[in-house]
């Protein structure tokens, strides 16, 4: 049996079993040996059985589901190429694009033309749908929202009437509460499994127990479970050492990030790193900040951002650029936290905690792919250290305060301060609001009460350089977050909410005059207008700033309002 020195079995071993055109395509693209998950999937006696497959990040799961599915299509005697035979569902547009790219590589040279179409949000519905309806979409890769939208049309439903195989990539995500309702509706609009006998396949690096009860939506009772991992093995990739650097306070997060990136850049001039942030706005802020620091240390590293608030053309362009670049810093939200295959990422940094435990695994998995090495670092404020304590299954080494022989070369605190001063105020305010929402949504995990949430978000606002007071929020935003009357917030038209007085209208007005009512004053920055206000936080004038100063705002202090903080 042909194997490489790592014991990996050659694809040539599948001659006679796997379609020869697929074998040729694999060879043409340099895939000569199977990864363990590919071997486990492809050396089964039958390719057509339902399967739940778990394998670590970056180990080749995409080919592991595409190959058996394409084999089914290529070998079928009665295939109607004008109808969808294979449907792949993925959680993000970029991942769907990437899967289509892999699929095209495999089918590009097949004598039987297999068109792969894509149905994702952010693109022109009309032109894609028209192409889909008029074309021969034997394969469809889709995100659930756009597919559901297509399926509102009878003609589109007809196109899916002969389905043979349904794959959920990032299956645990596709079956979680966010996507399951759309998935359920999709499955109601295609012929039932019982009628057509289509094959179901679910793939992910993480398979939390909760998804078990959702699996019957796509898998038959007698599905096989394939895993390349031992039950007690850490779910993260072995070639990636993981370290946490706890910082002394929220104010130290950005300087430490600067220090970490600058030292990594000093050690490796071709550093390629992904920096994950809790929210899209937070990623946007850090992109701006590091754009003003020379991409960490000079000489410059190119900086990129990737988050859901960008337009789709910008997102698509950035993915392409970051795939192609051999160095640079990508400030990202979880929109690229799963599945994305950026080649040769050396370092993943997580600033703060992920919104879900398993997301940690996927973020770390953006490095150390395809057998390469990598490094993963977390930078956590004291209030965020619960993540490490609560997750001993992750081999995260406590790296203590970040130290490095070259660290003293970079006066990171001053560099960050000066960079923050150049960032538009609106960007900082947006990051603050998003961060408040993020912490609020994880209030229990943080061990905070509402006042504690606000106090912590306010400390972040100070660290983001929001100005002399927390930015003012609209009453609607406060209401949506369920934070009405919570001390420490500044509410437009009402001013600073203080403990024991949930509605202190005019409070900030004493200092801020007209500005307090208009949300402009009191030293507070306002989100009243969507237009950029530049240094909005300071527009309240001397009265506003002075008013807040005299009050000695709670928000930037140690957080006496944060009842839960004592736990950390
Ligand atoms: N047999 C193979 N030989 C060499 N490289 C491979 C092989 N199979 C896949 N790869 C490469 O490995 C990388 C990771 O593959 P892929 O994106 O499918 O991983 P994954 O397991 O789906 O990761 P994730 O869990 O992050 O989604 C890709 O660059 C892919 O081209």
What are the tens digits of pLDDT across the range 372-416? 999 999 999 999 999 999 999 999 999 999 999 999 999 999 999
Report the pLDDT averaged over residues 244-269: 97
From the alpha carbon of 339, which atom of ligand 1 is closest?
27
Comparing CA positions, the residue from 468, 475, 467, 470 lying closest to residue 456 is: 470
Core vs surface per residue 203-231: b (16+ CB within 10 A) or e: bbbbbeeebeebbebbbeeebeebebbee
Number of domains in the chain: 3
Q: Which one of 370, 372, 374 would you pick to mutate in the ligand 1 pocket, going by the greatest count of ligand atoms within 8 A of its CB?
A: 370
Q: Ligand 1 centroid vs 496 CA: distance in angstroms?
A: 52
488: left (phi over 0), alpha (psi -120 to 50) or beta: left
Q: Ligand 1 centroid vs 37 CA: distance in angstroms?
A: 10
Report the pLDDT averaged over residues 320-337: 98
* 34 touches ligand 1 (CB under 6 Å): yes
Residue 297 binned pLDDT confidence (cut-offs 50, 70, 90): confident
**Per-residue pLDDT for 363 more than 60?**
yes
Rounded-to-integer distance, Cα 269 and Cα 262, Å: 10
pLDDT at 550: 31
Task: Say whether both 344 and 393 belong to one domain.
Answer: yes
pLDDT at 1: 55
**Per-residue pLDDT for 33 more than 90?**
yes
Task: Say whether both 394 and 483 belong to one domain.
Answer: no
Q: Ligand 1 centroid vs 59 CA: distance in angstroms?
A: 5
Rounded-to-integer distance, Cα 61 and Cα 226, Å: 12
**Per-residue pLDDT for 534 more than 90?**
no
**Per-residue pLDDT for 112 more than 80?**
no
Q: Which one of 4, 57, 58, 345 would you pick to mutate in the ligand 1 pocket, going by the greatest count of ligand atoms within 8 A of its CB?
A: 58
Rounded-to-integer distance, Cα 140 and Cα 146, Å: 12
Rounded-to-integer distance, Cα 22 and Cα 70, Å: 8
What are the tens digits of pLDDT across the range 80-93? 999 999 999 999 99
Task: Say whether both 439 and 411 belong to one domain.
Answer: no
Q: What pTM was computed for the model?
A: 0.88
Task: Say whether both 400 and 440 belong to one domain.
Answer: no
User: Which contacts (CB < 8 Å, 24+ apart) does range 179-185 have?
Assistant: 179/91, 179/144, 180/214, 180/217, 182/144, 182/145, 182/148, 183/89, 183/144, 183/217, 184/217, 185/148, 185/151
User: Quick check: is 121 in a domain?
Assistant: yes
Task: Say whether both 411 and 442 belong to one domain.
Answer: no
pLDDT at 231: 85
Task: Say whether both 292 and 176 belong to one domain.
Answer: no
Task: Say whether both 216 and 340 belong to one domain.
Answer: no
Task: Say whether both 19 and 153 belong to one domain.
Answer: yes
Q: Ligand 1 centroid vs 477 CA: distance in angstroms?
A: 42
Q: Ligand 1 centroid vs 105 CA: distance in angstroms?
A: 13
**Per-residue pLDDT for 3 more than 80?**
no
Q: Which one of 30, 41, 62, 335 would you pick to mutate in the ligand 1 pocket, going by the greatest count of ligand atoms within 8 A of its CB?
A: 62
The string of DSSP codes covering 183-240 is HHHHHHHS--HHHH--EEEEEES---GGGGGGGGGTS-TT-EEEESS-TTS-SS-TT-
Q: Ligand 1 centroid vs 102 CA: distance in angstroms?
A: 10
pLDDT over 70, % of the chain: 88
**Per-residue pLDDT for 562 more than 90?**
no
Domain of 375 in residue numbering reads as 242-422
Report the pLDDT averaged over residues 134-154: 97
pLDDT at 500: 61
Residue 271 tokens, joined = 């550093």
pLDDT at 413: 95
* 369 touches ligand 1 (CB under 6 Å): yes
Task: Say whether both 51 and 123 belong to one domain.
Answer: yes
Report the pLDDT averaged over residues 151-174: 97
pLDDT at 45: 84
**Per-residue pLDDT for 110 more than 90?**
no
What are the tens digits of pLDDT across the range 202-244? 999 999 999 999 999 999 999 999 999 998 899 999 999 999 9
Comparing CA positions, the residue from 374, 403, 375, 400 lying closest to residue 388 is: 400
310 three-state secondary structure:
coil
pLDDT at 567: 21
What are the tens digits of pLDDT across the range 305-314? 999 999 999 9
Evaluated on CA atoms 523, 528, 533, 534, the torsion sign reads positive
Cβ neighbours of residue 227 under 8 Å, at least 6 residues apart? 53, 54, 55, 207
Q: Specify the residue with its C-alpha closest to ligand 1, atom 15.
A: 60
> What are the phi and psi torsion angles at 340 (to 5°)?
-70, 135
For residue 215, list its beta bridge partners: none
Q: Ligand 1 centroid vs 369 CA: distance in angstroms?
A: 7
417 three-state secondary structure:
helix
Task: From 422, 448, 469, give the residue that closes a domain.
Answer: 422
pLDDT at 11: 97
CATH of the domain at 219: 3.40.50.300
What single DSSP character describes residue 349?
Answer: E
Comparing CA positions, the residue from 177, 183, 182 lying closest to residue 208 is: 177
Task: Say whether both 36 and 149 belong to one domain.
Answer: yes
**Per-residue pLDDT for 560 more than 80?**
no
User: Quick check: is 533 in a domain?
Assistant: no
Comparing CA positions, the residue from 302, 250, 293 lying closest to residue 419 is: 293
In the sheet that holds 472-473, the strands lie side by side as 472-473, 490-491, 495-496
Comparing CA positions, the residue from 350, 337, 224, 333 lying closest to residue 280 is: 333
User: Quick check: is 523 in a domain?
Assistant: no
Residue 483 tokens, joined = 């934070």
Report the pLDDT averaged over residues 440-456: 97
Q: Specify the residue with its C-alpha closest to ligand 1, atom 20.
A: 58
Q: Specify the residue with its C-alpha closest to ligand 1, atom 3.
A: 31
User: Quick check: is 548 in a domain?
Assistant: no
Cα distances from 319 to residues 336, 371, 431, in angstroms, run 9, 22, 22
Neighbours of 154 (CB within 10 A): 7
What single DSSP character describes residue 296?
Answer: S
From the alpha carbon of 98, which atom of ligand 1 is closest?
17
pLDDT at 538: 30
pLDDT at 517: 31
Task: From 422, 453, 475, give the residue that closes a domain.
Answer: 422
pLDDT at 414: 95
User: Quick check: is 551 in a domain?
Assistant: no
Task: From 227, 255, 281, give the residue that closes a domain.
Answer: 227
**Per-residue pLDDT for 540 more than 50?**
no
Range with lowest mean pLDDT among 5-14, 248-257, 402-411: 5-14
Q: Specify the residue with its C-alpha closest to ligand 1, atom 14.
A: 58
* 205 touches ligand 1 (CB under 6 Å): yes
Q: Is the ipTM of this complex over 0.95?
A: yes
Greater confidence (552 vs 568) lies with 552
pLDDT at 523: 40
Q: Specify the residue with its C-alpha closest to ligand 1, atom 25.
A: 57
User: Quick check: is 101 in a domain?
Assistant: yes
pLDDT at 418: 95
pLDDT at 216: 96
Q: Ligand 1 centroid vs 376 CA: distance in angstroms?
A: 19
> What are the phi and psi torsion angles at 160 (to 5°)?
-105, 15
Rounded-to-integer distance, Cα 387 and Cα 353, Å: 7
Q: Specify the residue with its C-alpha closest to ligand 1, atom 12.
A: 370
Rounded-to-integer distance, Cα 114 and Cα 117, Å: 10
From the alpha carbon of 340, which atom of ligand 1 is closest?
26
User: Quick check: is 247 in a domain?
Assistant: yes
pLDDT over 90, % of the chain: 80
Q: Specify the residue with its C-alpha closest to ligand 1, atom 31.
A: 60
**Per-residue pLDDT for 142 more than 70?**
yes
Range with lowest mean pLDDT among 446-450, 483-487, 544-548: 544-548
Task: Say whether both 487 and 437 belong to one domain.
Answer: yes
* 62 touches ligand 1 (CB under 6 Å): yes
Task: Say whether both 206 and 271 belong to one domain.
Answer: no
Mean pLDDT over each residue of the chain, to the nearest integer: 88
* 341 touches ligand 1 (CB under 6 Å): yes
Q: Is 441 within 8 Å of 480 (Cβ atoms)? A: no
What are the tens digits of pLDDT across the range 339-349? 999 999 999 99
User: Quick check: is 565 in a domain?
Assistant: no
Q: Ligand 1 centroid vs 63 CA: distance in angstroms?
A: 7
């Amino acid at each position: 049996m042909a194997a490489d020195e790592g014991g990996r079995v050659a694809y040539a071993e599948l001659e006679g079993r796997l379609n020869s055109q697929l074998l040729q395509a694999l060879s043409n693209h340099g895939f000569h040996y199977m990864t363990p998950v590919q071997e486990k999937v492809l050396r089964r006696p039958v390719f057509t059985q339902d399967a739940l497959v778990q394998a670590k990040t970056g180990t080749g799961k995409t080919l592991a589901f595409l190959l058996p599915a394409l084999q089914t299509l290529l070998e079928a005697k009665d295939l109607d190429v004008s109808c969808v035979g294979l449907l792949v569902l993925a959680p993000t547009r970029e991942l769907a694009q990437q899967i289509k790219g892999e699929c095209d590589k495999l089918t590009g040279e097949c004598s039987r033309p297999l068109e792969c179409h894509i149905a994702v949000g952010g693109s022109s519905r009309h032109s894609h749908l028209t192409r889909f309806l008029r074309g021969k979409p034997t394969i469809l890769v889709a995100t659930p929202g756009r597919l559901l939208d297509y399926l509102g049309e009878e003609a589109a439903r007809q196109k899916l009437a002969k389905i043979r195989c349904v794959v959920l990539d990032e299956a645990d995500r596709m079956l979680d509460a966010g996507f399951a309702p759309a998935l359920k509706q999709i499955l109601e609009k295609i012929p039932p499994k019982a009628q057509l006998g289509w094959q179901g396949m679910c793939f992910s690096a993480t398979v939390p127990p909760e998804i078990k009860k959702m699996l019957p939506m796509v898998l038959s009772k007698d599905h096989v479970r394939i895993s390349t991992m031992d039950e007690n093995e850490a779910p993260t990739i072995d070639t990636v050492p993981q370290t946490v650097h706890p910082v002394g306070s929220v104010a130290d997060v950005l300087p430490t990030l600067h220090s970490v990136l600058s030292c990594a850049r000093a050690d490796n001039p071709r550093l390629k790193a992904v920096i994950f942030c809790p929210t899209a706005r937070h990623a946007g802020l850090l992109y701006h900040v590091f754009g003003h620091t020379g991409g960490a240390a000079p000489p410059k590293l190119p900086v990129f951002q990737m988050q859901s608030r960008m337009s789709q053309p910008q997102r698509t362009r950035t993915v392409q650029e970051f795939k192609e670049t051999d160095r640079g810093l990508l400030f990202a939200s979880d929109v690229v936290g799963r599945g994305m295959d950026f080649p040769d990422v050396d370092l993943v940094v997580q600033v703060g905690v992920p919104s879900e435990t398993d997301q940690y695994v996927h973020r770390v998995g953006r490095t150390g792919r395809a057998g390469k090495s990598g490094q993963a670092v977390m930078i956590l404020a004291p209030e965020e250290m619960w993540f490490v304590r609560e997750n001993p299954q992750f081999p995260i080494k406590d790296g203590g305060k970040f130290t490095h022989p070259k660290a003293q070369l970079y006066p990171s605190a001053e560099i960050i301060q000066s960079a923050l001063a150049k960032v538009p105020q609106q960007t900082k305010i947006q990051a603050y609001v998003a961060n408040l929402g993020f912490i609020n949504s994880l209030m229990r995990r943080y061990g905070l009460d509402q006042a504690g949430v606000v106090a912590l978000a306010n400390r972040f606002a100070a660290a983001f350089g929001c100005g002399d007071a927390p930015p003012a929020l609209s009453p609607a935003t406060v209401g949506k977050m369920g934070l009405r009357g919570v001390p420490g917030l500044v509410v437009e038209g009402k001013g600073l909410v203080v403990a024991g007085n949930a509605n202190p209208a005019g409070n900030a007005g004493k200092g801020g005059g007209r500005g307090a009512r208009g949300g402009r004053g009191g030293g507070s920055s306002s989100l009243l207008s969507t237009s950029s206000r530049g240094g909005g936080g300071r527009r309240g004038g001397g009265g506003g700033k002075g008013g807040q100063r005299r009050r000695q705002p709670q928000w930037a202090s140690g957080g006496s309002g944060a009842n839960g903080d004592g736990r950390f």
